[in-house]
Structure 1
Amino acid sequence: MTQFTRRGAMGAMGAAVTLPMLAGPALAQTKLTVGALRFTSHAASFVAFERGYFADEGLEVEFKFFQAAQPMAVAIASGDADYAVTAISGGLISLAEKGAAKVIGGALSEEKGIDGQKILASNAAYEAGMTSPAALDGKSFGITQAGSSFHYMGSKIAAAEGADVTFKPLQKVGAVIGALKSGQIDAWSIVPHIAKPLAGAGAAHIIGNVSDYLPDYQVTTVFTSARNAANERAKTQAFLRAFARGADDFNAALVDKTAGDDAAEDMVKLIHKYVYTDREYEKAKAGIVNGAMRINKNAALNMGSVQDQLGWFQSEGLIKDSITTETLVDTSYVDIM
């Protein structure tokens, strides 16, 4: 886990959002910590930070970076982070059941017509005939932890294909990548900014799209501690407003491509400060652009997808049958899709 902080960041103003804007910062110098992964899909927070949208709301933001969803959820519950963006996991749901965490919005989504998450095969598995998800039976599928989004996606894909799949928990995304490259696992599913460079470098093969199995999948959510949701309403709404402005800028530049070529180039350079930082810009650019999936406007949440995910966790015996969407989501903050 690494940290990065910048205070008082100011920049160009983005497109207006329908969430109500404050006339001026009502929360001057309010410090908060935002959990993130170094993924293009977390760009709304990065944009809000770099372009001063958090500062406009009186928020002084520090980032904490993680390598998997579950540790981020634990950090929110313990107070080590205030807000975060990540996939729904068994750990997050369990924390919500204990009254420690709440989902307050939606972020990354699969959307028809937008190139989304890919299903990958290792070179060894591909050469042995696994050239489509229909050949998953008897194969191994990499996940970070049991109950992770990777587990959910892999299970739904396998069920649709009638395949018996072995899931291998490897704890970190980097470890899953290494296992795929070395042939220790046969398959994986991941966002395009990781999948396409792996395939382009000859380290794996793309054999399908997650959206073919999970259309309109709510990939990631915005969440916070139950304490923040209940007792820090002004701060939480301020965070969501700034996040939504960042998402609007990102979508206009790289998803809808309505902001022009210069704006797209500026956006990629901004994201490169956080994603593929170990690569030169020209080598990182394609991977970042390839990761440009929709981030929901106004942090809207696809409740149908959330319900489907809860149903899967329950069917696998990973959470209690008594848990409902109300357990997980504070709908008082949510623009429901």
Structure 2
Amino acid sequence: MRRRLLSAALLAAVIMLAAACGGPAAPATGEPQEPGDMPEDPPAAGDSPSTGGEYGQRDPDTGVAALPPLDPPEPLRIAEDGSPSGAGFYIATERGYFAELGLEPEFVTFESSAYMFPAVAGGDVDVAGGVMTASLLNAVDRGLPLRIIADKGRNRPGASYFDLVRSTRVIDEIQTLEDIRGRRFAITSEGSVDHIFAELALRAGGLTEEEVEWVVIRDFGQMNPALANGSVDVAMHIEPLITAGEADGVLDRWIDATEFAPDFQVAVVLASPAFTQERQEVARRFMVAYLKGLRDYYAAFVEGVDTDEIIDIMTRHTPMKDPELWRRVNKVDLNPDGYVIADSVQFQVEWFKEKGLYAGDVTAADLIDHSLVDFAIEYLGGPVGQ
């Protein structure tokens, strides 16, 4: 693909991608669940659940226990903005996984987390994609019953979709992390995911935040021009704009984010008790279908199974419309078993406290509810693992 065409396609994708990485985060369920509150073990074949019809027999080849479709079908409202990390939602929709369980997905968007959080907490939206932010923690402190119920994005070692980049103007001058001292460092906002990564990169180089000049560029799409014209020297950047900048000779993809932020939970799926408890049969079916979508994504981009079909689905739901672009960029990593990284969630809580952005007592244990993931994994015949 010619450089200019690739660059245009990449730049067209940025707005939606930026929303995914700096926006809201965290799902909901009322009070932290005690062991006794967890869903019971999946019923044996033929047993009836607490609500809904009978569970079907297990497939003799796959061992998957069939969940009968809800009749009549139930609406499933998903807050998602076209981010590539929403792959599990898109694949489950396009491959009919939601429909075969009697769910009718509808995608909705919000201008900001200030509107999304109350909608999720009140049941106007069933599930939402988001990231860990101080605003999420503060919302939970204010009484909104938001909880994290599944993974929606992390960095893949050696192929992160977040990377530390440097301008090609300064490659000879910036050879080590210590060389960032006194340099202009671009992030999108204070307390953003890229700010956390940037601060961790400084720590890895033995530097503090006071030893660089921060430059806030709220739109990832403006970072490449800033790197080109000398406004900034280094940036915590994101795909697909990193690939665009490389093609244009503007930046050097320098250090993979997992070098200084391994096992980092970037994005999550959120919900509330209005969904997970009051609409439990819908919630269980949602998670089964969602994990099937995650596993198809993993199979496509890690194992090479049905890659063309999955890329086609992704081009229909994200701003990245060029199939060739999907083959070139580093892609978001998604756990095919759906679990989030609890230690990373707790680290981010503590980071927000350290920076004075959060002063409450919420912990990762308060936020994370894996009960639906546990249920879905059991029904899908066990974990896949990475």
Q: Is this a same-fold pair by TM over 0.5?
A: yes
Can you list the C-alpha shifts for 1:197-232, whole angstroms capped at 9, x where unaligned? Answer: 322232322111100001111221111245434433
Q: Flag as ranges the 4+ runs of structure 1 deviating above 6 A.
A: none
Assess, with a 3 A threshold, how the Cα gap between structure 1 residues 197 and 81 changes in structure 2: closer, same or farther. Answer: farther
Give TM-score scaled by structure 2 length. Answer: 0.70
User: Alpha-carbon deviation of 1:141?
Assistant: 3.2
For residues 244-283 of structure 1, what are the structure 2 equivalents within 5 Å? Answer: 244-257=291-304, 259=305, 263-277=306-320, 281=322
For residues 1-337 of structure 1, what are the structure 2 equivalents within 5 Å? Answer: 22-26=66-70, 28-64=72-108, 71-72=112-113, 74-79=115-120, 81-100=125-144, 101-112=146-157, 114-124=159-169, 126=170, 129-163=173-207, 164-176=211-223, 179-225=226-272, 227-257=274-304, 259=305, 263-277=306-320, 281=322, 284-287=323-326, 289-335=328-374
- The number of residues matched between the two structures is 311
Larger of the two Rg values belongs to structure: 2
Q: In structure 1, what is the Cα distance between the partners aligned to 2:88 and 2:317?
A: 12
Assess, with a 3 A threshold, how the Cα gap between structure 1 residues 237 and 141 changes in structure 2: closer, same or farther. Answer: farther
Which has the higher mean CA deviation after the structures are superposed, 194-203 or 302-311? 194-203
Q: In structure 2, what is the Cα distance between the partners aligned to 1:146 and 1:32?
A: 34
Paired residues of 2:129 and 2:267 also in contact (CA < 8 A): yes
The runs of 5 or more residues in structure 1 that have no matched partner are 3-15
Q: Secondary structure at the match of 1:215?
A: coil
Assess, with a 3 A threshold, how the Cα gap between structure 1 residues 52 and 214 changes in structure 2: closer, same or farther. Answer: same
User: Alpha-carbon deviation of 1:87?
Assistant: 2.2
Can you list the C-alpha shifts for 1:123-159, whole angstroms capped at 9, x where unaligned? Answer: 44x3572345332222333333322211111111112
User: Alpha-carbon deviation of 1:54?
Assistant: 1.8
Q: In structure 1, what is the Cα distance between the partners aligned to 2:81 and 2:229?
A: 24
Q: Secondary structure at the match of 1:184?
A: coil
Q: In structure 2, what is the Cα distance between the partners aligned to 1:74 and 1:224?
A: 14
Assess, with a 3 A threshold, how the Cα gap between structure 1 residues 83 and 194 changes in structure 2: closer, same or farther. Answer: farther
Paired residues of 1:197 and 1:287 also in contact (CA < 8 A): no
Can you list the C-alpha shifts for 1:170-213, whole angstroms capped at 9, x where unaligned? Answer: 44443455544554333333444332232223232211110000
Q: Secondary structure at the match of 1:298?
A: coil
Assess, with a 3 A threshold, how the Cα gap between structure 1 residues 56 and 198 changes in structure 2: closer, same or farther. Answer: farther
Q: In structure 1, what is the Cα distance between the partners aligned to 2:354 and 2:62?
A: 38
User: Alpha-carbon deviation of 1:118?
Assistant: 1.5
Q: Secondary structure at the match of 1:299?
A: coil
Assess, with a 3 A threshold, how the Cα gap between structure 1 residues 229 and 23 changes in structure 2: closer, same or farther. Answer: closer
Can you list the C-alpha shifts for 1:76-115, whole angstroms capped at 9, x where unaligned? Answer: 4334643222321112222222232211111222344555
Aligned partner letter, 1:33: R
User: Alpha-carbon deviation of 1:21?
Assistant: 5.3
The runs of 5 or more residues in structure 2 that have no matched partner are 1-14, 17-60, 375-382
Assess, with a 3 A threshold, how the Cα gap between structure 1 residues 26 and 133 changes in structure 2: closer, same or farther. Answer: farther
Identity of aligned residues (%): 23
C-alpha RMSD of matched pairs (Å)? 3.2
Q: Secondary structure at the match of 1:106?
A: strand
Assess, with a 3 A threshold, how the Cα gap between structure 1 residues 333 and 314 changes in structure 2: closer, same or farther. Answer: farther
